[in-house]
Structure 1
Amino acid sequence: MDGIAGTTAVTGGSPEFAMTRMDEEQHPECDVYVEDNRAATMVSEVLANVDRNILSRSKIIPFGAASVGKALGQMAHNKRFPRPSLVFLDKALPRRQWQENGLSSHGRRSSGS
């Protein structure tokens, strides 16, 4: 990889990382599903603030309705996607619906209840 100190070898990189470096097309390593463009902007800003490299290796996809996000979350939980995927829902759903679906308020499966 080219840097200030010259060209260096990178070991342990994913095929997607290598493809992104070899051409101008993005080859994301994970998908991040969010409800809308506002959420996409917020997640992008958080990732860029934490580590810009993570942002460039992720694809943020707005999905629309919370019911779609719920279905995507179940698919991600059951590993139905070709690459690692995260789904973020806002807390607009009533707490009862979160609990009925075995989800915490953070969108993760709860272990106890």
Structure 2
Amino acid sequence: MLLPGPSGTNIVYGATPEFALSRLDENVHPELYIFVEDRDSEIFLREILASNPDSAELLTRLAIVPVGPSNVVQIMGNLAKNNKLPYKSIAVLDGDVVSNGSCITLPGTEAPERVVFKELKQLAWPDLPARFGIGAGTLLTYLDDSMLEPDHHRWTSMVGDRVIKSSTSVWETLVNQWCKSCLNNDVREALFREINNALT
């Protein structure tokens, strides 16, 4: 992918086709682009920011863009840090990836799915039966069973197949509940502050 910048063209290898085909600088004009790995990371970050009481105005000023694997996120983070992009931007890695210093990271030390599922399970899946409209015994079995699958990327779709919801809908509900039940206020504030600082 070729990205024009103030000092010439930057080459990014391994970007997703969706990101490579997007026209970031022509369609929307947010004040800040935030680069993340995938759609699940985008939802995770958005819900964390939305859980801050002061987030309404902030969320209208930024665009969260999935760009591909962690190495692509780090490339975009380097370009952003060195002012090689024609717009303000930062990169946010999943918690299971060590940053090279050019990115901030999402909460936890594992992939977002593992963080959310494990921490909600430790609290006995609070309020989720009511939110999904399914009996506790049935829903908890579905959630526990999904975690037996080695590929955490499949967990939400496995639950969705059984509760007749999209994997995105399942993930949004789980992350929203995680923000209410598990998210540490200091972690939320630190992430909110870093993104707010990037806007100035």
Report the TM-score, using the length of structure 2 for normalisation: 0.34
State the secondary structure of the residue aligned to 2:35: strand
Counterpart residue type for residue 68 of structure 1: V
Partner SS state of residue 28, structure 1: coil
The amino acid that maps onto 2:47 is E
Structure 2 unaligned residues grouped into runs of 5+: 1-26, 106-200
TM-score (norm. length: structure 1)? 0.58
Change (3 A) 1:48 1:76: same
Supply the distance in 2 between the matched residues of 1:105 and 1:57 (Cα, whole angstroms): 20
Higher Rg: 2
Equivalent residue pairs, number: 78
Q: Are 1:85 and 2:101 an aligned pair?
A: no
CA distance in 1, matches of 2:50, 2:30: 15
Q: Distance in 2 between matches of 1:83 and 1:104?
A: 16
Residue 75 of structure 2 is aligned to residue 71 of structure 1? yes
Answer whether contact 1:91 1:105 (CA < 8 A) is retained: no
Matched position secondary structure for 2:51: helix
Question: Partner letter of residue 70 of structure 1?
Answer: Q
Q: Is the 1:69–1:87 Cα contact (8 Å) retained in structure 2?
A: yes
**Which residue of the other structure, out of 57, 64, 80, is the alignment partner of 1:60?**
64
Contact 1:35 1:63 in 2 (8 A): yes
Q: CA RMSD in A?
A: 2.6
Matched, 1:32 2:34: yes
Hey, what's the Cα distance between the residues in 2 that align with 1:75 and 1:59? 17
The residue type paired with residue 59 of structure 1 is A
Separation in structure 1 between the aligned mates of residue 103 and residue 76 of structure 2, nearest angstrom = 16
Indicate if the aligned counterparts of 1:30 and 1:84 stay in contact, CA closer than 8 A: yes
Percent of pairs identical after alignment? 31
* CA separation of 1:104 and 1:63: change in aligned 2, threshold 3 A: closer
